[in-house]
């Protein structure tokens, strides 16, 4: 029988709330679908993008108990763009707080881009809480991958990169990360926002196979820009808080679980070699390299493959 490949219809949360995870951060969460179904948790990209109503639509709402949340400093979580007490280890701990609050024993972990990094880091820390993984646009957070995002992308999007670099004076373009981060910490909110918009538009302009004519409008949104710009620079400057803990060297902790990856052949943000190397390190995993897609999870062939993956997981996690 052919598996479904179209997104499920829009649906509304059964319940939602704000979870105080420490004295500073409060995390937005929501739950959709079958309250008694197999739990699945959606991990958005960035860091900093936040989830959207579309995030719910990869999953069969009759089968899955769908958990979506916005990570610290992202989307509807508060305060937006806050870098204090915001590390990969904090996000992993937040996932555990949410899982325990919802009284979930185990869940399928679904993540794209930075969400794939967080999915793997969470899994390696709490393997017994995972049923399996559905990933997209794999990002392993290695130093060369960070350097690629900051400078390597210019090989494919030279005009987009130049606009990103030109937000800074020529004398500061030799170290984009350091000098953007300095602006993100400027006391003037206007300076912070302008830098965040330049950063967010840069990323948004590189994620699709074909140009998105609306990217400058959508990625200028203040909440999105501040979340993405400030948090990505913060995480990149700290090597994603994974220094000394390379994900590829830890995947044996979770490689007994099922894993399916959808990867765009022309993903310029997260080059396919990372998905390939993860696949090679994970016996029994599936990797689908899609010949007509870039990075975005909303590329038509990628979202179809992700829906199919979640359909496949219905039997794999039940066996």
Which segments within the chain are labelled E, that is strand?
A: 15-20, 26-33, 38-43, 64-69, 107-112, 130-136, 259-264, 286-290
Question: Distance (Å, rounded) from C-alpha 22 to C-alpha 94?
Answer: 9
- Residues serving a catalytic function are 113, 267, 295
Does the domain at 15-142+242-316 match CATH 3.40.605.10? Answer given as no
Distance CA 57, CA 229 (A): 27
pLDDT score recorded for residue 122: 98
Smallest CA-to-CA distance from 286 within 276, 296, 295 is with: 276
pLDDT digits (tens, 9 = 90+) for 203-240: 999 999 999 999 999 999 999 999 999 999 999 999 99
- How many angstroms separate the CA atoms of 248 and 250, rounded? 5
Strand 38-43 to 259-264 pairing: unpaired
For the chain, what are the domain ranges?
15-142+242-316, 144-240
Which helix (DSSP H) or strand (DSSP E) does residue 216 occupy?
helix 215-218
**What would the pLDDT profile of 101-126 be if each residue is shown by its tens digit?**
999 999 999 999 999 999 999 999 99
pLDDT band at 172 (very low <50, low <70, confident <90, very high): very high
How far, in Å, CA of 64 to CA of 108, rounded? 9
Phi-psi region of 172 (alpha: psi -120 to 50; beta: other; left: phi over 0): alpha
Buried b (16+ CB within 10 A) or exposed e, 282-312: beebebbbbeebbbbbebebbbbbbbbbbbb
């Amino acid at each position: 029988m052919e598996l479904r490949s179209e997104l499920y219809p829009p649906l509304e949360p059964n319940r939602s709330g704000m979870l105080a995870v420490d004295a500073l951060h409060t995390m937005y969460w929501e739950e959709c679908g079958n309250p008694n179904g197999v739990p699945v948790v959606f991990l958005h990209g960035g860091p900093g993008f936040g989830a959207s109503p579309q995030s719910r639509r990869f999953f069969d709402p009759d089968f899955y108990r769908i958990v979506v949340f916005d990570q610290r400093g992202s989307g509807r979580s508060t305060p937006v763009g806050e870098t204090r007490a915001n590390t990969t280890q904090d996000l992993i701990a937040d996932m555990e707080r949410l899982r325990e609050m919802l009284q979930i024993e185990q869940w399928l972990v679904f993540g794209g881009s930075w969400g794939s990094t967080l999915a793997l880091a969470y899994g390696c820390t709490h393997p017994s809480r995972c049923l399996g993984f559905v990933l997209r646009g794999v990002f392993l957070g290695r130093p060369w991958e960070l350097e690629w995002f900051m400078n390597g992308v210019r090989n494919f999007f030279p005009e987009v990169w130049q606009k990103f670099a030109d937000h800074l004076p020529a004398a500061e373009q030799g170290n984009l990360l350091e000098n953007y981060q300095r602006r993100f910490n400027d006391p003037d909110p206007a300076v912070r926002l302008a830098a965040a918009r330049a950063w967010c538009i840069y990323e948004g302009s590189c994620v699709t196979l074909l140009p998105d004519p609306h990217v400058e409008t959508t990625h200028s949104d203040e909440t999105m820009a501040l979340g993405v710009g400030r948090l990505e620079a913060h995480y990149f400057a700290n090597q994603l808080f994974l220094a000394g803990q390379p994900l590829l060297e830890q995947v044996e902790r979770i490689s007994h679980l099922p894993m399916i990856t959808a990867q765009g052949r022309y993903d310029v943000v997260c080059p396919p070699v990372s998905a390939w190397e993860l696949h090679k390190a994970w016996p029994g995993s599936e990797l689908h390299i899609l010949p007509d897609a870039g990075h975005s999870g909303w590329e038509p062939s990628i979202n179809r493959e992700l829906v199919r993956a979640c359909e496949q997981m219905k039997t794999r996690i039940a066996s």
